Amino acid sequence: MAIKLDGKLVSSIIREEIKQEVLEILNDQEDRAPHCAVVLVGDDPASSTYVKNKEKAFKDVFMMSSTYRLDNSTTQKELLDIIHLLNNDDDIDGILVQLPLPKHIDSKVIIEAIDPNKDVDGLTMVNQGKLYSGIGLEPCTPAGVIELLKRYEIDLAGKHCVVVGRSDLVGRPLSVLLLKENGTVTICHSKTSDLKAITQQADVLLVAIGQKQFITPEYLKEGVVLVDVGIHRHLGKIVGDCDPSCYDKTSYYTPVPGSVGPMTITMLLKNTLKAFNL
């Protein structure tokens, strides 16, 4: 019987733990709660929804967040100036730039402009590098996946963990964190030949490819732990990179929505707390 890895439930437990820590900070007469600046450029509806969810999540754990909603016509220079101001503001602990940015802005330049100690998304090169030594702010989605597996006491040591996808945001950092947990890690991508032959060997299969319901039961070994990072809007619903028909073949699976998504936001809260304490 496949067990659902309930990221919503686990998130609510972790958020309660975070809330208690924030209350302790406030009770200790610290002058303020941890504070994250969220920068949103343009009017992409999905990004606006993500930002609203993040604002609510900060509020629920008594943290502060300030959202900078900028016009689509904002130039790269103007955005860099804002990042610079936020870097130098002692009342701001974390900075998050909602991606994707409009096409005329180079995301890499913007991300690299963020002070690594305030980079709560864990995306700067400094934090990507620090990931290898287990320090710094970890990228939220991969960190959320590992935390979810740990909360269900799924031991990764010695397991064959197959990651499908090698993006800077998910696949690559996730592979590093799996290795840190003593998994035996294989990374696949769009140039991998005979993907199915590799995924069928996975004890833990983690999929972040951005292809709607691409993974079907034929890709799985019986009893696999299946983690679906994908998010797509399809016919008014949210679906993942894996077809739900996969679930019956697994021992544990992450439903979409309601698993990796909430964990990602929870890790953002954790990183903001960590940045406050740096």
Tell me which residues are annotated as active site.
Answer: 54, 98, 121
For β-strands 35-41 and 3-4, DSSP reports them as: unpaired
Instruction: By CB under 6 A, tell whether 188 contacts ligand NAP.
Output: yes
Q: Which of 42, 95, 261, 266 contacts ligand NAP by CB under 6 A? A: 261
Among 51, 204, 208, 224, binds ligand NAP (CB under 6 A): 208
Site membership for ligand NAP, residue 57 (CB under 6 A):
no
Structure tokens at 111: 């991300």
- For helices 260-277 and 140-151, what crossing angle results, to 10°? 110
- x-or-dash pattern for ligand NAP, window 100-139, by CB under 6 A? ----------------------------------------
* Interface with ligand NAP, residue 210, by CB under 6 A: yes
Q: Which residues within the stretch 230-249 sit at the binding site for ligand NAP (CB under 6 A)? A: 230-232, 241
* Bond preceding residue 257 cis, omega within 30 of 0: yes
**Binder of ligand NAP out of 47, 53, 76, 167 (CB under 6 A):** 167
Which of 86, 111, 131, 209 is the binder for ligand NAP (CB under 6 A)? 209
- Coil, strand or helix: which one is 24? helix
Q: Which region among 17-25, 28-36, 122-130, 206-214 touches ligand NAP (by CB under 6 A)? A: 206-214
Judge whether 249 and 125 are in contact, CB under 8 Å: no
Give the residue among 204, 224, 222, 208 at the shortest CA–CA distance from 256: 208
Is the separation of the CB atoms in 261 and 231 below 8 Å? yes
Cα–Cα–Cα angle for 217, 218, 223, rounded to 5 degrees = 60
- Of the candidates 122, 138, 120, the residue with the CA atom closest to the CA atom of residue 65: 120
Closer to ligand NAP by CB, 114 or 188: give it: 188
Cβ distance 184 to 158 under 8 Å? yes
Q: Does 171 bind ligand NAP (CB under 6 A)?
A: yes
* Contact predicate 275/21, CB 8 Å: no
Nearer to ligand NAP, 128 or 264 (CB): 264
d(CA 187, CA 99): 24
Kindly determine how many residues on this chain lie close enough to bind ligand NAP according to the rule CB under 6 A.
27
Stretch of 66-74, 90-98, 167-175, 269-277 lying at the interface with ligand NAP (CB under 6 A): 167-175
Tokens (6 digits) for 157: 């040591």
As measured in angstroms, the least distance from the Cβ of 195 to ligand NAP is 5
Given the rule CB under 6 A, which residues bind ligand NAP?
141, 164-167, 169-171, 188-192, 195, 208-211, 214, 229-232, 241, 260-261, 264
